[in-house]
Amino acid sequence: MKNTKNSIRYIIYARRSIEKTDKEDKVVSIESQIKECRDMAVEHGLNVVKTLQEAKSAKEPYRRVEFQKMIEMIQKGQADGILCWKMDRLARNAVDEGTIKYLLQKGIIRNVKSTDRDWYPDDNVLLASVEFGVATQYSRDLSKHIKRGLRARLESGVRPSIAPLGYKNSKYHEKGKEEILVDEERFPLVRKVFDLMLTGAYNPFELTRIANETIGLTNKHAYTSTKINKTNMYRILVNPFYYGVFEFPAGSGEWYQGKHKPMITKDEYDKIQFLLGRAGKAKPKTHSFAFTGMIRCGSCGACITAEEKFKHQQNGNVHRYVYYHCTKRLDANCQEKAVREEVLDKEILEFLARIEIPKLFHEWAIETMKDMHENEKVDRNSVIAIKRNEYDKVVERLDTLLEIRMANEINADDYQKKKSELEQQKIILSGYIDDIDQRINNWIEEVEASLSFAEKAKTEFANGDANRKKELFGVLGYNHTLKAGKLSIATQKPLLIIEKAANLAKSISDRLEPPKSLAEQGRIKQKYSKNDQMWRCWESNPGAIGISRTVLRR
């Protein structure tokens, strides 16, 4: 009966969600809820037999331990009343709502009392359904709003998580419109780590030491230590976020083009993944060898490794020798023999001599490239228009695909597969359109890096230590082969074009007297310009060979 509350045994139940939303922020704390419920009990002389509290969302059933304990106590006859701050503290899903309503209608729960009203077994069932229904519908609407907001952020190019090292999350933007910004302090330091890795002279373990001891890179998310550890370093090197894209959620196959500033290019990322090993694990090294990690066996395709041997003479002299040989991981019976490092040195020097160019040719080529650069600028708008048209078509196909799925004319698996393919095309085209201006503006700088390498590489290789040789050899490529003691250098096309141009430039220079004056230098440059073969070679457009700035900045 309604006026026999002092005979009812009440359980105080207080709850607050872990996930705090805008509206949830208005909910009083658990401690405050319990205090208000106890004040009500004292004011009305109520018998409280238990107080239960938990910080759990009520969106899903069977996940609240204390709520289930309360229901079990009521079903066992140990209590028959509930004290709570608001009704939505009890249930925000249909299952828990039904449990409370059923026990109330059957009289097993004799009274549910909140700060604003009471519920009894003989009350109108419809009113109780409306009260609980409002809380349940709020939970459902909240889930939809969160998912819709999340999709909007992803499509706008913002990854909804903590920014990786070198970036930072914005703090003062409107909620739901946060951005990922460049961390001015750490961005150049992380880029320096990438530059060192791209040389091919270091592995992740060595980079971890350099980051801590030399570069001064710190981990802003660390709880106990700001030092970079091996796990941090490896995560940096394999994270595609740094070249501008991200997957969300991880492993979903859903890729998005980020609007943050990329730190590296896609080509640089791919090269780093190759250097880390195709299995995706870093390759620890105990010695520093000049050419490991970039050569494969020409017979079985396994990696070429190196080992050092020492010869001790009776007079006390010790001679060190380095041998390169197949690891035989793909074929234990591979018959390829070991090759001395001096043999590889000689073959690489011979190749570098073939691409070596005279200084005058370097100057003439840059002047020529500037003219070609201006001509290419004229075509820029037409190229962008073509790519923009392709991008619009992909967007249109995505819209059509969605309509087909909504009409149930394609199953979920096929829809997801085709959607993923189109989104990849969309990301590529978007990146191309955004990047074309920058690529054109950087063209001359990249060409000059290629020519500077061709002019100086031979001398620097001959005089360099193991690390320097590895850097220079890495510029030539990283998929060379060794077979029958012969190194086949699989370099990129631009260097092959420069090799042809270098032969022509040398033949022109050799026929003339060494230039001693500006007039004589100008005469040689005119010879370059008038040579039809030179133009046919150069119109192939060598472009850039992707030389790391670290390699040339010596």
Neighbours of 543 (CB within 10 A): 16
Q: Which CATH architecture has domain 167-276?
A: Alpha-Beta Complex (3.90)
**pLDDT of amino acid 471:** 83
Report pLDDT for 283: 42
Q: Is the pLDDT of residue 53 over 90?
A: yes
Taking only the tens place, the pLDDT of each residue in 290-300 is: 888 889 999 99
Q: Which of 467, 175, 450 is nearest to 292 (CA)?
A: 467
Mean pLDDT over all residues of the chain? 76
**Is residue 391 very low, low, confident or very high in pLDDT (cuts 50, 70, 90)?**
confident
Nearest residue to 137 via CA among 90, 94, 84: 94
What is residue 49's predicted lDDT score, i.e. its pLDDT? Answer: 94
Other beta carbons within 10 Å of 368: 17
Asked if residue 417 lies in contact with residue 375, where contact means CB atoms within 8 angstroms, the answer is no
Answer yes or no: is pLDDT of 412 > 90. no
CATH class of 5-150: alpha beta
Entry pTM: 0.41
For residue 303, the 8-state DSSP code is B
Q: Rounded CA gap, 139 and 511, in Å?
A: 85
Q: Identify the burial level of 91 via C-beta atoms within 10 angstroms of its C-beta, where 0-12 means exposed, 13-18 middle and 19 or more buried.
A: buried
Choice among 244-258, 328-342, 357-371 with the minimum mean pLDDT? 357-371
Point out the least confidently predicted range of 13-22, 87-96, 180-189, 194-203: 13-22
How large is the greatest C-alpha to C-alpha distance in the chain, in angstroms? 119
pLDDT band at 549 (very low <50, low <70, confident <90, very high): very low
pLDDT digits (tens, 9 = 90+) for 198-250: 887 788 888 999 988 888 888 876 555 578 888 889 989 999 999 988 887 77
- Among the listed residues 345, 356, 357, the one whose alpha carbon sits nearest the alpha carbon of residue 469: 345
Higher pLDDT, 142 or 519: 519
pLDDT of 278: 44
Q: Where are the domains of the chain?
A: 5-150, 167-276, 347-554
pLDDT at 438 over 90: no
| pLDDT, position 369 | 64
152 vs 170, residue with greater confidence: 170
pLDDT value of residue 110? 92
Would you call 225 exposed, middle or buried from its count of C-beta atoms within 10 A (0-12, 13-18, 19+)?
exposed
Residue 259: DSSP 8-state: -
**Predicted pLDDT of residue 554:** 42
